[in-house]
């Protein structure tokens, strides 16, 4: 499934992840981008997108704060590139990365890659917790990537990780917008 990657790898410091996401968000807000960001093509329903996320995909939480406290399953360079893509996508969905102490929601993630006949399937699982650390939702999805290679992680280029991050941010926004306190701001 992961051919050589440690499955229980933790980020060295989850505070560092929050800082990277927050810095990326701040930088992207300070420098307006010329043009638009094209979102990844929609996956078909058989690709595993949760029905509840699809139904709420058009809504976004207002200034929802989240701490991405753990991301496992992929080689560290892949995790680092995915985090940068996720930071850019999260801002587009009004998800503000913050330190765990200031977060309304805590998010733990897992990335996976498996070989297919024509390439690989890259996936994610997000467990969303409230500030009291009670799990309130699990989100799973995946994308197909064309190519060949002995290790499916070699197909996780910036484009593929960008598509996976876009899908992640969209699904997270859909779930967070359905929370009773959506739009209430930071706690």
In terms of DSSP H, where are the helices of the chain?
14-30, 51-55, 76-92, 158-177
In terms of DSSP H, where are the helices of 93-157?
none
What is the model's pTM? 0.65
Cα 150 from Cα 44, distance rounded (Å): 26
pLDDT tens profile 53-96: 443 444 444 568 888 889 999 999 999 999 999 988 988 888 88
pLDDT tens profile 142-160: 999 999 888 999 999 999 9
Q: pLDDT-based confidence at 185, cuts 50/70/90?
A: very low
Q: What is the pLDDT of residue 17?
A: 52
Q: Which helix (H) or strand (E) holds 141?
A: strand 135-146
What are the residue boundaries of the structural domains of the chain, listed by start?
14-30+47-177
Q: What is the pLDDT of residue 87?
A: 87
Q: pLDDT-based confidence at 163, cuts 50/70/90?
A: very high
Segment 7-15 shows an average pLDDT of: 46
Cα 168 from Cα 19, distance rounded (Å): 19
DSSP, collapsed to helix, strand or coil, labels residue 142 as strand
Cα 57 from Cα 52, distance rounded (Å): 9
Which region among 2-6, 70-74, 132-136, 177-181 has the lowest average model confidence (pLDDT)? Answer: 2-6
The class level of CATH for 14-30+47-177 reads alpha beta
């Amino acid at each position: 499934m992961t051919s050589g990657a440690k499955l229980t790898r933790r980020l060295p410091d989850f505070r560092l992840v929050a800082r990277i996401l927050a810095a990326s968000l701040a930088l992207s807000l300070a420098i307006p981008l010329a043009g638009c960001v094209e979102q990844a093509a929609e996956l078909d329903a058989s690709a595993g997108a949760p029905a509840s996320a699809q139904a709420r995909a058009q809504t976004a939480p207002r200034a929802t704060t989240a701490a991405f406290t753990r991301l496992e399953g992929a080689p560290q360079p892949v995790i680092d590139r995915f985090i940068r893509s996720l930071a850019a996508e999260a801002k587009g969905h009004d998800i503000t990365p913050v330190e765990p102490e200031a977060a309304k929601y805590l998010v733990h993630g897992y990335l996976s890659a498996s070989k297919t006949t024509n390439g690989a399937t890259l996936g994610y699982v997000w467990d969303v917790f409230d500030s009291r650390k009670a799990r309130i939702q699990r989100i799973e999805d995946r994308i197909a990537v064309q190519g060949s290679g002995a290790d499916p992680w070699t197909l996780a280029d910036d484009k593929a990780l960008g598509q996976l991050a876009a899908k992640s941010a969209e699904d997270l926004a859909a779930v967070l917008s359905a929370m009773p306190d959506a739009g209430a701001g930071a706690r």
